[in-house]
Structure 1
Amino acid sequence: MKKHILLCVIGMTPQIITETIYALAKKKINIEELHVITTLDGKRKLTETLINKGILSQLIHEYNLPSINFSEKSIYLIKNFKNKPLSDIRTPVDNESAGEIICKVVHKLTARKNTILHCSLAGGRKTMGFYLGAALQMYGRKDDKLYHVLVNEEFENLPEFFYPPAKSKEIIIKTKDGQFLKKSTSEVKIELAELPFLRLKELIDFSGKTFRELIDSTQIKFDNFKKIPYLGFIPAENILKIGDRKIKLSYNLWEFYTKLALQKKRACKHPQKLFCMNCTDCFLPMKGNTSLLTLFNQREENIRMKISKINSIIKNSLIAYYGKDNINFFLINSVGSHGSKKYGIFLDKLKIVRED
């Protein structure tokens, strides 16, 4: 049974938290743990209402919900780069600081096993919601969710309204034209709009960097990926087609290279991942039950000779067109230390196509 965790970004409206918990409970999703990212002023407002006034406890009691693990340690303050908590987010630097803490918290929570993370971006500055959505794209798992909370317009931003009480009551609201009216809480409609997002965690390694570095390094990877030519095979002519260049090989060398290159697709250890992104798990050792010797049924010296010949032909054929760095993707390379080396090509599996 997976634990349901709620993460909210908020400013001065802690109502977002109770409204989200209420709406999820209506969907039979009971939150067991709460985490909040906010400013110093937001924390004061949150503490004053949900904790000191006991509003969160009231919600749990009124609707007979399971207890929610929530403490001081679950409140993450947005701080500047001097580690000073911010009262508000006003400047571009403040926004960048918010992005850093949001990214770190989402990374931390999604790293926990047997959990489902529910994220609400309804509170706080608009940039906080953007960063939360972006972080969830990078680290979100299959079952993690992203929401926006929708409340009837007349009940929005009421300082004393946090959720529809189990027993309806009348409250005073102020209309757009300045009039004050009594409204029953039975008229409140709180809904969650689930927002779809791309889950990129399985495609790209996002670990160990700041938010800005994550974006920049990932963009570089995509830009570089676009520059690398495609690899194709023309069986009838024993030709390797790399970009718009054609390399003629003997049948034995063509068959050897093609068979090894197609390991990237046929023997991929992570078929759910769209990109290889430096993964070499499909590379084969020289010897063993699953190895180059068993794949080709040839002697080791013959295999090494073919690797050397193929690499020499590819280098000489392409060096004037694609440069040393790009050529390396198409060579038969080895990884690992002496005695435990594995062999394959670094080219991403998406760049390998077959032609008739």
Structure 2
Amino acid sequence: MKKHILLCVIGMTPQIITETIYALAKKKINIEELHVITTLDGKRKLTETLINKGILSQLIYEYNLPSIDFSEKSIYLIKNFKNKPLSDIRTPLDNESAGEIICKVVHKLTARKNTILHCSLAGGRKTMGFYLGAALQMYGRKDDKLYHVLVNEEFENLPEFFYPPAKSKEIIIKTKDGQFLKKSTSEVKIELAELPFLRLKELIDFSGKTFRELIDSTQIKFDNFKKIPYLGFIPAENILKIGDRKIKLSYNLWEFYTKLALQKKRACKHPQKLFCMNCTDCFLPMKGNTSLLTLFNQREENIRMKISKINSIIKNSLIAYYGKDNINFFLINSVGSHGSKKYGIFLDKLKIVRED
């Protein structure tokens, strides 16, 4: 059984937390662990209501829910770049600080095994919701969920309303025209809108120390990917087609290169990932049970000679058209230290196509 974890971003409305727990419980999803990202003022409000007044415990008791693991260490304060907790999020730098902590918390929680992360973006500044959604796109797994909690308009933002009590009661609400009316909590409708999002974690390896670096480095990878030409094979003519350039090889060299290049697709260790990025797990050692020697059934000196010849031909054919950096993607390269080298091409598997 997977553990259900709730992550909420909130400002001064801790009601979002209890409303989300209530709505999930109605869907037979019982939260077992709670994490909250908020400001200093938000933490004070949360502590005063859910903890000191016992509203969270009251919800659990009234609806006979499993206990929820929630403590001081589960509250993440948004801090500025001087590590000072923020009372509110007002400046561009404040927003960037919020993005950093949200990204780190989502990364940490999604790294845990046998868990499902439920994220509620209904609280806090709009940018907090954006960052939560963006972080979940980057790190979210197939079972993780993103929600917006919806409450009847007349019951929204009522300081004393946190969830529909098991035994309904009347509360005073203020209408838009300034009138005060009694309303029964039995009229409350709390619904969760599940928001679809792209789950990119299994497709792309994200890297970067900060949220901005993570976005920038990924964008650079996409931009560079678009610049690299496609690799195609024309069997009838023993031709490699790289972009709009055609390279004629002898049959032996063409067959050798084609077989090794297609390892990127046929022997991919991570078929669920859309892009290879820097992955070289499909590269082969020279010797061993699964190696260049077993793949080609040739002597080591013959294999090394073919690698050298092919690389020389590709370099001479393309250097004037694509430049040194792009050419390197098509060469047969090696990774690893001496004695444990593995061989393959760096070109992304999506850039390899077969032509008749």
Q: Structure 2-normalised TM-score?
A: 0.99
CA distance in 2, matches of 1:213, 1:252: 45
Contact 1:203/1:277 (CA < 8 Å) preserved in 2? Answer: no
CA distance in 1, matches of 2:289, 2:71: 54
Q: What's the CA shift string for 1:134-153, capped at 9, x where partnerless?
A: 01111111111100000111
Unaligned 5+ segments in structure 2 are none
* Post-superposition offset of 1:208: 5.0
* Post-superposition offset of 1:202: 1.6
Q: What's the CA shift string for 1:91-124, capped at 9, x where partnerless?
A: 0000000000101111111111111110000000
Contact 1:16/1:122 (CA < 8 Å) preserved in 2? Answer: yes
Equivalent residue for 2:142? 142
Name the count of aligned residue pairs. 356
CA distance in 1, matches of 2:220, 2:203: 15
The 3-state SS of whatever aligns with 1:279 is coil
CA distance in 2, matches of 1:269, 1:177: 64
CA distance in 1, matches of 2:207, 2:317: 37
Q: What's the CA shift string for 1:169-202, capped at 9, x where partnerless?
A: 1111111111111111111110001111111112
CA distance in 2, matches of 1:170, 1:216: 52
Root-mean-square deviation (Å): 0.7
CA distance in 2, matches of 1:288, 1:69: 50
CA distance in 2, matches of 1:144, 1:207: 21
* Post-superposition offset of 1:244: 0.5
Q: What's the CA shift string for 1:261-296, capped at 9, x where partnerless?
A: 000000101111111111111111111111111111
* Post-superposition offset of 1:205: 2.1
CA distance in 2, matches of 1:127, 1:186: 33
* Post-superposition offset of 1:209: 1.3
The 3-state SS of whatever aligns with 1:35 is strand
Contact 2:208/2:217 (CA < 8 Å) preserved in 1? Answer: no
* Post-superposition offset of 1:203: 2.1
The 3-state SS of whatever aligns with 1:350 is helix
CA distance in 2, matches of 1:24, 1:209: 33
The 3-state SS of whatever aligns with 1:109 is helix
* Post-superposition offset of 1:207: 4.3
Contact 2:207/2:217 (CA < 8 Å) preserved in 1? Answer: no
CA distance in 2, matches of 1:244, 1:7: 50
Identity across matched positions, percent: 99
Unaligned 5+ segments in structure 1 are none
CA distance in 1, matches of 2:167, 2:341: 70
CA distance in 1, matches of 2:61, 2:132: 30
The 3-state SS of whatever aligns with 1:334 is strand
CA distance in 1, matches of 2:353, 2:208: 33
The 3-state SS of whatever aligns with 2:256 is helix
* Post-superposition offset of 1:206: 2.1
Contact 2:4/2:29 (CA < 8 Å) preserved in 1? Answer: yes
CA distance in 2, matches of 1:295, 1:80: 55
Q: Given the alignment of the two structures, is residue 33 of structure 1 paired with residue 33 of structure 2, yes or no? A: yes
